[in-house]
Chain A
Amino acid sequence: MSTTKKLTVTVLAAALAVPALAACGSSDSSGSSAGKSKTVTLVSHDSFAASPAVLKAFTKETGYTVHVLKSGDAGAALNQEILSKGSPRGDVFFGVDNTLLSRALDHGLFTPYRAKGLEDVPANVQLDAGKHRVTPIDTGDLCVNYDKKYFADRKLAVPRSFDDLIKPEYKNLLVTENVATSSPGLGFMLGTVAKYGNAGWQGYWKKLKANGVKVVDGWEQAYNQEFSGSAGGRKAKGDRPLVVSYASSPPAEVLYAKPKPKTAPTGVVTSTCFRQIEFAGLLDGAKNQAGGKALLDFLISRKFQEDMPLNMFVDPVTKGAKMPAVFTKFGAEVPAPETVAPGTIAKNRDQWVKSWSSIVL
């Protein structure tokens, strides 16, 4: 009894030393975003990345230091923000895409703000142009990628459309992701919804299923294990020459290969694309409103927009932002990507996912 008490005292003394011990070297994260309005906090998902030099340039221009907080994938990060609505963890949230936009807006997550320079952003990506609660930052296309070597070796024509994928010559060649757990998977499904309409898309998937589409849980596994055209897939002896991935995947295959190949090992079926648009917004209840607004202006400035592609493998939205050479040389132009209105997605999403699961799984 008294032993425990004495022990407790000893241990408490030791406990006080813990923060001191662990704080060695982790002083860079000063915790809360309160206090000094010299810091502006950007809350985002795990995929956010920007070159340190570019963030330093922002600090030089405006005097604000950017503090980045990441928490999970796009869906998890947004939902955490919804849960902490009213007392947000930061000033700006980056990374809500068109498939989740309605949920964010319905919860009243953002304070309207019209970013400086918005006139250089095309109207077709401004999905909240009336109120400016969110600002479009980047776009990315989800498309079927193909393994060039596979089709060349067999003298088989590369599929050119959604319709081709259900033809017998492409039986057992496609791998895609689970719609319920993966955003590329969801995007591909939404692409088919846009293409075949609310009445026809389920019939299309039944045919796709009959044609041997393989479904795995996430993009990593589909792309790095099952797909025969990626570096990881080649090592894992993947045997599916068609995969649902991004239009920016071929440039990545080139960029991260040594030695650099003359042409990308993979290509994009550009008529099977669904466009994702990512937005950022000023959080309702942000402690540093002025800093948040400055950051939003900066996110659509050419400096940040040109830095984005190589960090996040997405396309800039601002007119005049130059794409890196590796993208222009190895990437694919997607002339007419499929889209579905955010409101429609929000309304039907759960139902669509459920019926997709019952058809395919």
Chain B
Amino acid sequence: MAVPVAFFAVFFAYPVVAIVGRGLKAGGVWQFGRIGEVLGRPDILHVLWFTSWQAVASTVLTLLIALPGAYVFARLDFPGKQLLRAVVTVPFVLPTVVVGTAFLALLGRGGLLDQLWGVRLDTTVWAILLAHVFFNYAVVVRTVGGLWSQLDPRQEEAARVLGSSRFDAWRKVTLPALAPAVAAAALMVFLFTFTSFGVVQILGGPAFSTLEVEIYRETAELLDLPTAAVLTLVQFVAVGAILALHAWTVRRRETALALVDPARTARRPRGAGQWVLLCGVLAVVLVLILLPLGVLVDRSLDAPGGYGFAFYRALQSQGAGGGTFLVPPVETIWNSVRYALAATVIALLVGGLAATALTRRAGRLVRGFDALLMLPLGVSAVTVGFGFLITLDKPPLDLRSSWILVPLAQALVGVPFVVRTMLPVLRAVDERLREAAAVLGASPLRAWREVDLPMVRRALLVAAGFAFAVSLGEFGATVFIARPDNPTLPVAVARLLGRAGELNYGQAMALSTILMLVCAVSLLVLERVRTDRSGEF
């Protein structure tokens, strides 16, 4: 408990409070009057309204499209399933700058839709919503599907035997068990879309602005800290409200679930209904996820003088005439992986400890901490980044120019994932099993190792995968944190896109493709890492 609390106090609460204080204090006195001033501005109100409704719409749309996917991935067995599961997670970690480019190629002028039906969706709200679904599909599939695959199908079968219709059995048995996971997933999607930044900027055009974009502008560009502070507070309140709501639903629904080995629950599709569902989901994945990714690959290979790997070869040189980087762009891959590994370890430590502590204890304080852990997702990267700047500036914590700051900032975003993924499973572990182990003479640590660990191992891996992937593609905070001249992959992509010339554009596409592959491979590895201990319970 002490470790996560300290981590959050130093690397999150203190910097954010400091930067908000800087904006709301004048001459050492809090100026709360400023809140009213800012919130009275029509442009700000417009931003608030747009932010809220697009987040609601995105969340609903994502759930509608992704829940069937969660079922298919959890309950059906088909060739290439693991690969596909890794692939649908890739979008989640791609930098928005890359996704924006891909979506423009699909929805924009001369894009695929335009060629087929003369439809153009760029600079409409549809482009934003679709990109949000693209990003968050995996969140639902993994959080809901992860639990769904471990629910014992025999419970539903028992209900059927007792005379329930198929739908009734699902509604009364499976749905309540899934509810916390669905709520968690919906909450996450809402948080991400509520604080959406890059997608809105690139696809929405200048007409749409979210709270996050506004905070960025006020802080980074205009240095209008009072306005930024007020907006940060608004975001805080909104996110806090969502989290409170979430905590309440989870508490109402929590029951000890009978978890089983996921390998036993998935079956080959049977019956027309399941086949239709499977094909439908595959079609959605193909159109919504593989197509945009395919556009990137296509453009990275579409070199002058025919298809080939010319752009990839260019990545290994320092570019014509010195180029953009002090190192060949290809080295940014290694940089990114290194940062991401460090961030994953930090996130797993902090998140794992927090999740364990949260399972073991109840009480208002602990519940508050639970919500607190989620807050970094709802606070803009620029607020945290600038907060670091004015707080971590004195020894022993002068980290402003230290490399560790990047993984720390990335871990902040990773921890909530770890906690969210582990908590439902940890909480579902039956307390009596632990008691039984204790009675039989196991030390608490051994009981944890023998009882909890086998059950949560999968969740732990999923959490690690998420944390790693999130760190790999993290762009927001990394950009503001001063870093030595060893850019991460997303930063390098943005930099290449920011220059004229065919080779630069091509290299940006090639790097994006490599990022995609690195993510897919690392997620695939995690999928494969199964210890032989499963199937014992």
Bound-complex Cα distance A84 to B22 (A): 12
A49 touching B326, Cβ below 8 Å = yes
Question: What size tier do the contact residues of chain A reach?
Answer: 35 or more
Bound-complex Cα distance A294 to B501 (A): 34
Shortest distance from the beta carbon of B221 to any chain A beta carbon, whole Å? 5
Choose one: A231, A236, A307; the contact of B322 (CB below 8 Å): A307
B256 is an interface residue with CB less than 8 A from chain A: no
Stretch in contact with the other chain, from B154-162, B177-185, B198-206, B264-272: B198-206
Considering the complex, give the chain B residue whose CB is closest to the CB of A26: B403
Q: Given that A2-B444, A75-B221 are contacting pairs, would A257 and B321 also be in contact in the complex, using a CB cutoff of 8 Å?
A: no
Q: Given that A14-B349, A22-B338, A22-B341 are contacting pairs, would A69 and B498 also be in contact in the complex, using a CB cutoff of 8 Å?
A: no
Shortest distance from the beta carbon of A342 to any chain B beta carbon, whole Å? 16
- The residues of A that contact B361 with a CB separation of less than 8 Å are 1
- The residues of A that contact B219 with a CB separation of less than 8 Å are 79
B420 is an interface residue with CB less than 8 A from chain A: no
Choose one: A4, A181, A236, A324; the contact of B321 (CB below 8 Å): A324
Considering the complex, give the chain B residue whose CB is closest to the CB of A1: B360
B482 is an interface residue with CB less than 8 A from chain A: yes
B79 is an interface residue with CB less than 8 A from chain A: no
Chain B 110-146, CB within 8 Å of chain A: the 1/0 string? Answer: 1100000000000000000000000000000000000
Bound-complex Cα distance A310 to B320 (A): 8
- The residues of A that contact B482 with a CB separation of less than 8 Å are 43, 69-71, 80, 89
Considering the complex, give the chain A residue whose CB is closest to the CB of B352: A11
B479 is an interface residue with CB less than 8 A from chain A: yes
Bound-complex Cα distance A302 to B226 (A): 44
A231 touching B3, Cβ below 8 Å = no
Choose one: A26, A51, A71; the contact of B480 (CB below 8 Å): A71
- The residues of A that contact B280 with a CB separation of less than 8 Å are none
A7 touching B105, Cβ below 8 Å = no
Choose one: A3, A178, A180, A258; the contact of B305 (CB below 8 Å): A258
Shortest distance from the beta carbon of A352 to any chain B beta carbon, whole Å? 13
Shortest distance from the beta carbon of A59 to any chain B beta carbon, whole Å? 14
Q: Given that A67-B484, A71-B481 are contacting pairs, would A236 and B110 also be in contact in the complex, using a CB cutoff of 8 Å?
A: yes
A217 is an interface residue with CB less than 8 A from chain B: yes
Q: Given that A90-B401, A256-B320 are contacting pairs, would A103 and B223 also be in contact in the complex, using a CB cutoff of 8 Å?
A: yes
- Total residues of chain B contacting the partner, CB 8 A: 92
Chain A 266-280, CB within 8 Å of chain B: the 1/0 string? Answer: 000000000000000
Q: Given that A22-B407, A232-B505 are contacting pairs, would A11 and B353 also be in contact in the complex, using a CB cutoff of 8 Å?
A: yes
Q: Given that A7-B353, A80-B480, A180-B217 are contacting pairs, would A49 and B500 also be in contact in the complex, using a CB cutoff of 8 Å?
A: no
Q: Which of B483-513 contact A (CB under 8 A)?
A: 483-487, 491, 494-495, 497-506
B346 is an interface residue with CB less than 8 A from chain A: yes
B304 touching A259, Cβ below 8 Å = yes
A230 is an interface residue with CB less than 8 A from chain B: yes
B321 touching A313, Cβ below 8 Å = no
A198 is an interface residue with CB less than 8 A from chain B: no
Query: Known contacts A83-B390, A232-B505; can you find 4 more A-B pairs with CB under 8 A?
Result: A3-B447, A181-B217, A218-B202, A225-B101
Task: Tell me the A residues contacting B by CB distance below 8 Å.
Answer: 1-4, 6-8, 10-12, 14-15, 18-19, 21-22, 24-26, 28-29, 31-34, 41, 43, 46-47, 49-52, 67-73, 75-76, 79-80, 82-84, 87, 89-90, 103, 178, 180-181, 215-221, 223-226, 230-232, 235-239, 245-246, 248-249, 252-253, 255-259, 307, 310-311, 313, 324, 326, 350, 357, 361
Task: Tell me the B residues contacting A by CB distance below 8 Å.
Answer: 1-3, 22, 97, 100-101, 104-105, 108-111, 201-202, 205-207, 217, 219-223, 299, 302-305, 310, 320-326, 334, 338-339, 341-342, 345-346, 349, 352-353, 356-357, 360-361, 382, 386, 389-390, 393-394, 398-404, 407, 443-445, 447-448, 479-487, 491, 494-495, 497-506
* Cβ-closest 3 pairs across A and B: A237-B110, A256-B501, A231-B502
22 contacts between A and B (CB under 8 A): A1-B360, A3-B360, A6-B444, A25-B338, A33-B401, A46-B495, A68-B326, A83-B22, A87-B393, A103-B223, A178-B206, A181-B217, A216-B205, A217-B202, A221-B104, A221-B202, A236-B105, A237-B110, A245-B500, A256-B503, A257-B304, A258-B503
